[in-house]
Amino acid sequence: MKIPKTVRLGGLQFTVHVIPAKEWKDEEAVGLFHPDSRTIAVLYDKNTETLLHRYLHELEHAILHVMNRDRLYKDEAFVDLHSCLLLQALLAK
C-alpha cells in the first residue's frame, strides 16, 4: 500500500505529507491531522507497517472529522485500535 499525496473525503481534499525525522518538529506525536488546513502529516519510518499505521491513524481522525463524530474523533484509543485493525485487514495475505 502506497501513501497518497492527497486523499478525498466527503468532497473535501486533504494533503498528506510524510516528513523526515530531521524536519519533524513535534516531540510528542508521530502524526498530526490539521482540520483547518486539511492536512495530514506523519513522521517517516523506514518500517513500512509503522509508517502505514501512522498514516491510517491520522486518516481515521480525518474521516471522523468529516463525519462530524467529535466524540470518536477525540478518542485516541479508539482511533489507534481502529487504524491498527484496518492495517491488519489491508495487509492480510
Q: In order along the chain (93 residues), what is the average pLDDT of each group of 10 residues?
A: 94 97 94 97 96 97 96 95 96 90
Query: What are the phi and psi torsion angles at 28 (to 5°)?
Result: -100, -10
Domain boundaries, the chain: 6-91
Please compute, for residue 12, the number of CA atoms within 13 A of its CA located in the half-sphere on the CB side: 15
Its pTM stands at 0.94
Q: What integer pLDDT is reported at residue 1 of this predicted model?
A: 77
CB 59 within 8 A of CB 7: yes
Q: What integer pLDDT is reported at residue 93 of this predicted model?
A: 86
Between vectors from CA 36 to CA 24 and to CA 21, what angle results, nearest 5°? 5
